C-alpha cells in the first residue's frame, strides 16, 4: 500500500512519468485504431489500451499507480478542453480527469484486494468500458 508520507515531491514527479508516457502511447494507438476500426474503438478498445498502459508503465517503473492514472487524466483533460468548444469542453476535461483518477484509486485497491495486477487491470478495464458506454450514450443525447 502506498501511504501519503511515502510520497516526496521527487516520488510524485517520478510517478507522473508513466501516466504521461501512457497518454502519448494511448493517443497514437487510439488515433490509428479509430481511423481504421471506427467509433467502437473509443468504447471498447481504448479502455484496454489506456488501463494497460497506465498501470503497466507504473508497474515497470515501480511508480505510484494513482499518480500515474491522475497524470494521464490531466493530459486527457487538457486534450478534451483543447478539442471541444464551449462549456462542454471544461465539463469533458474535468470528467476525464476525475474518472481516470478514480480508475487509479480503484486499480490500486483491486491490486491490494486480489494481490494481482492482472485481475485489477481486467476489472478496471470492464468498469472503464461501462463508463465509456454511458458517456457516449449521454453525449448522443439518447
Mean pLDDT for each 10-residue chunk of the chain (142 residues)? 67 95 96 88 92 98 97 96 85 94 98 97 98 89 63
Which pLDDT score is estimated for 141? 72
Mean pLDDT score of the chain: 92
CA distance linking residue 80 with residue 92, whole number of Å: 6
Quote the crossing angle between the two packed helices 117-139 and 87-114, to the nearest 10°. 160
Q: Which residue has the cell 484509486?
A: 105
Q: How far is CA 98 from CA 11, 62, 105, 111, 114, in A?
A: 21, 23, 11, 20, 24
pTM: 0.90
Amino acid at each position: 500500500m502506498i501511504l501519503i508520507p511515502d510520497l516526496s515531491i521527487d516520488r510524485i514527479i517520478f510517478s507522473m512519468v508513466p501516466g504521461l508516457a501512457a497518454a502519448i502511447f494511448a493517443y497514437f494507438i487510439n488515433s490509428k485504431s479509430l481511423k481504421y476500426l471506427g467509433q467502437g474503438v473509443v468504447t471498447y478498445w481504448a479502455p484496454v489500451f489506456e488501463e494497460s498502459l497506465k498501470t503497466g508503465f507504473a508497474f515497470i517503473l515501480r511508480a505510484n499507480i494513482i499518480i500515474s492514472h491522475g497524470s494521464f487524466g490531466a493530459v486527457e483533460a487538457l486534450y478534451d478542453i483543447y478539442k471541444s468548444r464551449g462549456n462542454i469542453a471544461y465539463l469533458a476535461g474535468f470528467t476525464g480527469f476525475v474518472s481516470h483518477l478514480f480508475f487509479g484509486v480503484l486499480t490500486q485497491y483491486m491490486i491490494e484486494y486480489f494481490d494481482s495486477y492482472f485481475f485489477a487491470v481486467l476489472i478496471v478495464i470492464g468498469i472503464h468500458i461501462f463508463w465509456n458506454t454511458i458517456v457516449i450514450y449521454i453525449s448522443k443525447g439518447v
